[in-house]
Structure 1
Amino acid sequence: MTSDSEKYWYNLKTGEVEKGYESPAIDRAGPFDTPEEAAKAPEIMRERSRAWADEEARDDAWGPRSEPADDEQ
Structure 2
Amino acid sequence: MSDDSEKYWYNLKTGEVEKGYASPSPDRAGPFDTSEEAARAPEIIRERSRAWAEEDARGDD
TM-score, normalized by length of structure 1? Answer: 0.80
| Higher RCO structure (Cα 8 Å, ≥6 apart) | 2
CA distance in 2, matches of 1:50, 1:23: 27
Question: Percent same amino acid among aligned pairs?
Answer: 80
Which residue in the other structure is 2:29 paired with? 29
Larger Rg: 1
CA distance in 1, matches of 2:56, 2:2: 34
Matches within 5 A, 1:16-55: 16-55=16-55
Q: How many residues align?
A: 61
Cα RMSD (Å):
0.9
Q: Which runs of 5+ in 1 are unaligned?
A: 62-73
CA distance in 1, matches of 2:48, 2:14: 21
* Runs (4+) off by over 3 Å: none
